[in-house]
Structure 1
Amino acid sequence: MKRNDFIKSSTLLFTGAFLSSNKSSEFLNLNKEMIKSPTFKLDYAPHQGMFSASAGKNFLDEIRYMHDLGFRSIEDNGMTGRSTEEQTKVGELLAKLGMRMGVFVVPKGGNGQNTLAANKQEHIDIFLKGCRDSVEVAKRVNAKWVTVVPGDYQRNLPIGVQTANVIEALRRGAEIFEPHGITMVLEPLSDSPNLFLRYTDQAYEICKAVNSPSCKILYDAYHQQKNEGNLISFMDMCWSEIAYIQIGDNPGRKEPYTGEVNYKNVFKWLHNKGYKGIVGMEHGMSKSGKEGEDILVAAYREADNF
């Protein structure tokens, strides 16, 4: 069956999939024509594996399938781990389809074993090498954003000293990215209390101090719902330094309508704010297989229907 024909026929199953998924009752009257809409109001970016049940395991085939569903961007945290040949093919396909490349993670861009807060030369050297390597990868896939996490606390140092150490290291990273028009986006995380960067205002302060267009915030609403809540208010206060958005519902880190976040309101706010960037779908799925994929798309169609 041709891919486009398959898309058309599979959309007829979306409503039935929702009815069996125990989702909110508001989906019972979901408009089929809305599900079939060619694009979204915001630029949501899936990642590999989200549509493998329908498109198969080949990443390029899955990108084509994502495009057919109406998505116009992708993410791939592990892009630097792919071969140069595959990176080039991904970049060429995205260009052909008119799609954007979202974030990938700077290799060893800061983690528990490589913390920028410590001001250790070996850690800084690893970070800066990762920045230089990321520039070459970004050229192949036409990426404009790369994710950086500064790593863990260095708890034998005062917090102000740690913050200054992080700022200085990030300034050096920004110097590498600026000539290429690439922005490293700092992601506050909730995975561990040992992580140095956890809060939106903390990332805002650091970006203001680095003072570079190549150092901004990746606001992941899943992590910040866990860390601080008050999503729209914090985004509004720190908006000038936010360059990239990711989402996942909480608890569970699945698609919208599986947790407590009112993503329709969040997406409406982003749209009214004039946000033209990517909204990364950095989360899992509530159901596996084709049914789960149908539910995923229908959830985004509903949340995007503001």
Structure 2
Amino acid sequence: MPRFAANLSMLFTELPFMERFGAAAAAGFKGVEYLFPYAFAKEDLAAGLARHGLVQVLHNLPAGNWEAGERGIACHPERVAEFRDGVARAIDYATALGCTQLNCLAGIAPAGVSAEVLRETFVANLRFAAAQLEEAGIRLLIEPINTYDIPGFYLNRTAQAAEILDAVGSANLFIQYDIYHAQRMEGELAATIARHLPRIAHIQLADNPGRHEPDSGEIHYPWLLRHIDGLGYEGWIGCEYKPATTTAEGLGWLQAY
């Protein structure tokens, strides 16, 4: 069955961040992911991983001012220099953490910028990042995100992501397929995953509605996870959901796997 990674930005949030590594390991997780590592010294994060025998599965490139509501800058034409600086910073952290894949958040489309310029900016930034990451032995991912949770998010459908991969033309660019976001935007999960599996390097999960644990909503996760396994997917599945109560109380779904 697939390997599950705890998303420490969403799980065990009752604990200080650095204590979440131990909680994830105690719960049976072998890997972790989270939004950003940059508020912490990379040496401290690496020590936390090593202490608890965890793999750093994924983190994001710098994504602008998150606290102010920004959700990525990769499609922002006036911030290309900032994006490129962020690529270098992300590589530095990922190398120290042994993290072999990084996600690039496209961002909310800025007002007054044409669709053509948005696309050109995003494609050019991805070409740059994919090349830089390839030299470091790190894969670059892009993630479609639903526009109900983040109105105006530029990249929001799987077919759009596949078209962007074609336009970039790099063998080092892949799709991060988030089941929750995909369910909200397009449904048709099983067929879409099967169609695009060669280009999917990472999967994340949560149920809908509420973005809670698997088996709490409308997605039939026992069947879907068997389907993903049967397709031959060998990557990690990140558990990026909001526990309905506490993380520990909501982990019953994981015991079946």
What TM-score, normalized by structure 1, do the two folds share? Answer: 0.74
Letter in 2 for 1:50: L
1:1-306 equivalences in 2 (<5 Å): 41-48=1-8, 50-51=11-12, 57=16, 59-60=18-19, 62-93=20-51, 97=53, 99-108=54-63, 112=70, 115-120=73-78, 123-154=79-110, 156-190=112-146, 191-288=149-246, 292-294=247-249, 296-302=250-256, 304=257
Alignment deviations for residues 168-209 of structure 1 (CA, whole Å, 9 cap, x no partner)? 111011111011111121111112331110000101111122
Task: Give the number of aligned pairs.
Answer: 251
Report the Cα distance in structure 2 between the residues aligned to 1:166 and 1:65, rounded to whole angstroms: 37
Alignment deviations for residues 16-36 of structure 1 (CA, whole Å, 9 cap, x no partner)? xxxxxxxxxxxxxxxxxxxxx
Report the Cα distance in structure 2 between the residues aligned to 1:113 and 1:257, rounded to whole angstroms: 28
**How far apart are 1:63 and its partner, in Å?**
2.6
Pick the structure with more helix per residue: 1
SS at match of 1:226: helix
Letter in 2 for 1:267: L
Report the Cα distance in structure 2 between the residues aligned to 1:131 and 1:168, rounded to whole angstroms: 13
SS at match of 2:126: helix
Call closer, same or farther: CA 1:129–1:136 in 2, change over 3 Å: same
Residue identity over aligned pairs, in percent, reads: 24
SS at match of 2:38: helix
Report the Cα distance in structure 2 between the residues aligned to 1:256 and 1:114, rounded to whole angstroms: 27
CA RMSD of aligned residues (A): 2.4
CA contact (8 A) 2:72 2:104 kept: no
Letter in 1 for 2:132: I
Call closer, same or farther: CA 1:181–1:279 in 2, change over 3 Å: same
Call closer, same or farther: CA 1:193–1:168 in 2, change over 3 Å: same
Bigger Rg, which one: 1
Report the Cα distance in structure 1 between the residues aligned to 2:64 and 2:58, rounded to whole angstroms: 13
SS at match of 1:299: helix
CA contact (8 A) 1:110 1:127 kept: no
Call closer, same or farther: CA 1:253–1:205 in 2, change over 3 Å: same
Call closer, same or farther: CA 1:159–1:87 in 2, change over 3 Å: same
Pick the structure with more strand per residue: 2
**How far apart are 1:113 and its partner, in Å?**
8.2
Call closer, same or farther: CA 1:243–1:114 in 2, change over 3 Å: closer
**How far apart are 1:257 and its partner, in Å?**
1.4
